[in-house]
Amino acid sequence: MAMRVEIATGLIDELIALAGADPAREVCGLLFGGSGRIDGFRPAANVAADPSTTFEIDPAALFAAHRAVRAGGPSPVGCYHSHPHGPASPSARDVAGADPGQYWLILARGDAQLYHVGRDGRFDRCRTALT
């Protein structure tokens, strides 16, 4: 049975709009929340060598997020990115670069699919509920 994850109302629509505004590049950023929920996001620069086919979240955004947690800010629970040339499903690169326990929200052509990365590195699709 798929894991159920609550997502703040409007968050997916905002991310689909961000991806649609830059259709030639993979947009990316961090997801914030807790166990079983995603409350917010923060866009990050894609610093990959070829952002049209892959993504790499700017390390400065990751460091800033972890500093914010120490100061009482929201916890990062995963990331999002777009697939401008493919479906909203994990690519081989996604699987190779994923950290267990994280949520991955993949956006493609107006679609958004949320996955949870298991301890074995497998991407399990989540059921989402808007809150």
Q: Which of 6, 14, 26, 56 is catalytic?
A: 26
Other Cβ atoms less than 10 A from the Cβ of 15: the count is 22
Identify the pLDDT of residue 1.
62
Q: For the structural domain made of 4-130, what CATH number should be given?
A: 3.40.140.10
Tell me what the mean pLDDT of segment 52-78 comes to: 95
Tell me what the mean pLDDT of segment 22-51 comes to: 96
Q: How far apart are CA 42 and CA 95, in angstroms?
A: 22
Identify the pLDDT of residue 3.
86
Identify the pLDDT of residue 2.
79
This prediction has a pTM of 0.94
Q: 96 phi and psi, to 5 degrees?
A: -70, -30
Q: Give catalytic status of residue 26 as yes or no.
A: yes
